[in-house]
Structure 1
Amino acid sequence: MATSSSPAARRGPGAKSAERRRSIVDAAHAVFAERGYNAGSFQAVADRVGMSQTGLLHYFPTKSDLLLAVLQRRDEVSNAATDPSAGFAESVLLTAQANERIPGVIQLYAVLCGESTTADHPARAYFTTRFERLRAGTADELRALQREGVLSRHVDVTIAAASLAALWDGLQLQWLLAPEEVDVVACLRDYLDALFARP
């Protein structure tokens, strides 16, 4: 039995519930990365975490609730790997490099992003909003660099922002299929070097 001075007692039931929720999200992350959302069942997640579907429903009433928790967790893990003090180009390269070292992060993103283009997919709004925010944020960063004279004024920042997002996603997909043949960081660096080259 746990005493009041034991770690279990000090954490309390709330901490235990949070730990179980985290383990479910981690299990779902693995299942959705391997099988996609549509083929990744509640049962597969429950089996991986060692609990019943009824127990799983106590934490996540619907499969879409679980999916959104997984995507939120994916963003937290990816964002934690970034360096807020880095410049724009360096931040892009560091994030790309860090994502390759986090198991399942790129695979989950690629699988769910592709699936989200189908009708009524529960992650469609998430990815639509994410791309809108990413394009706008990147364009703002590039616009600021233009004002500083670092980036040529001939660069259309809106097009460059969309192109960078497309290049990054495409490279990650190729890397998933042939990791020994595709160097995501090197390709991104080449694009950024060309983008920032002054005529």
Structure 2
Amino acid sequence: MTGSKPGVGKEPRTGRSLKAQQRRQEILQIAMDTFAARGYNNASLQEIADRAGVTQAGVLHYFRSKAQLLTSVLELRDATDIEQLGPERPRGMAFLRHLVDTVRRNAEREGIVRLYAVLSAESVTEGHPAQDYFRDRYTGLRAMVTEALAEASELGEIRADANLEDAANAIIAVMDGLQVQWLLAPDSVDMTASTDRVITALLAELSTSRT
């Protein structure tokens, strides 16, 4: 699932040669790992440059600023989510089941999960360059899940009088909260099973068969 992206800085420079494109991807991946491990505020361009084997000027050749580098990292994360979702998202209850599949895939990509958890929490601080990104992302996620619940209502899968916005907020909160618990204790937290349990219980509560 993806939301809107922040308009931080200008578009990154794109090298013409294959070698330049490969170097840009290397820097982007190193920046992703660094931001995930240290957060945006604690990570430095010098650290990223050292890990990439280039100078700070070399990093800035591809990304005009640290904020632009962060934007490109978040765009790469979103591109991965879009690829996994496919050309058309499932409708109604099928979309909620898709969320469980998303959690299952996330359990196999710890770096992406850590990046999201660290930066989303850090973005609430004043002046953070990803604040608009995550605000827009959560708005988009709430709208997407609420729309899927509305489709389920239209299909007769859940009650028409259900509070869809509250249900959407609960689903997103559970998924994000489980990510943090899993990152801290991966052997003790089964994100997929817990997400499936909560969504199943929520759908049972919203079911048309409930009196």
Relative CO higher for 1 or 2, CA cutoff 8 Å, sep ≥ 6? 2
Q: 1:99 aligns with which of 103, 106, 112?
A: 106
| SS in structure 1 at match of 2:124 | coil
Question: What pairs up with 1:140-155 in 2 under 5 angstroms?
Answer: 140-155=147-162
| Corresponding residue number in structure 2 for 1:71 | 74
For residues 53-107 of structure 1, the C-alpha deviation after alignment (integer angstroms, 9 at most, x for no partner) is 1111111111000000001111112332335565212210111111121240000
Q: Deviations over 1:93-146 (max 9, x none)?
A: 111111121240000000000100000000000000000010011101100101
Tell me the TM-score normalized by structure 2.
Answer: 0.84
**Paired residues of 1:151 and 1:196 also in contact (CA < 8 A):** yes
Name the stretch that deviates more: 178-187 or 125-134: 178-187
Match of 2:182 in 1: 175
SS at structure 2 position matched to 1:112? helix
- Residue 25 of structure 1: aligned partner: 28
Q: Report the residue type matching 1:55 in the other structure.
A: G
Given the alignment of the two structures, is residue 162 of structure 1 paired with residue 163 of structure 2, yes or no?
no
Partner residue in 2 for 1:54? 57
Which letter does structure 1 place at the counterpart of 2:112?
Answer: V
CA distance in 1, matches of 2:159, 2:41: 45
Q: Which residue of 2 aligns with 1:90?
A: 97
CA–CA distance in 2 between the matches of 1:85 and 1:61?
35
Question: What is the CA–CA distance in structure 1 between the aligned matches of 2:142 and 2:175, rounded to whole Å?
Answer: 12
Residue 71 of structure 2 aligns with an amino acid whose one-letter code is L
8 Å CA contact 1:93, 1:189 repeated in 2? yes
Query: Among the aligned pairs, what percent are the same residue?
Result: 39
Q: Which has the larger radius of gyration?
A: 1
The 3-state SS of whatever aligns with 1:122 is coil
**Unaligned 5+ runs, structure 2:** 1-14
Asked whether the equivalents of residues 46 and 53 of structure 1 are also in contact (C-alpha less than 8 Å), the reply is yes
Q: Are 1:15 and 2:24 counterparts?
A: no
**Structure 1: stretches of 5+ with no match in the other structure:** 1-11
Normalising to structure 1: TM-score of the pair?
Answer: 0.89
> Aligned in 2, Cα 1:194/1:110: closer, same or farther, shift over 3 Å?
same
Shift of 1:21: 1.2
Whichever structure has more helix as a proportion of its residues is 1
1:189 and 2:196 are equivalent in the alignment: yes
Q: Which residue of 1 aligns with 2:124?
A: 117
Give the structure 2 partner of residue 7 of structure 1.
none
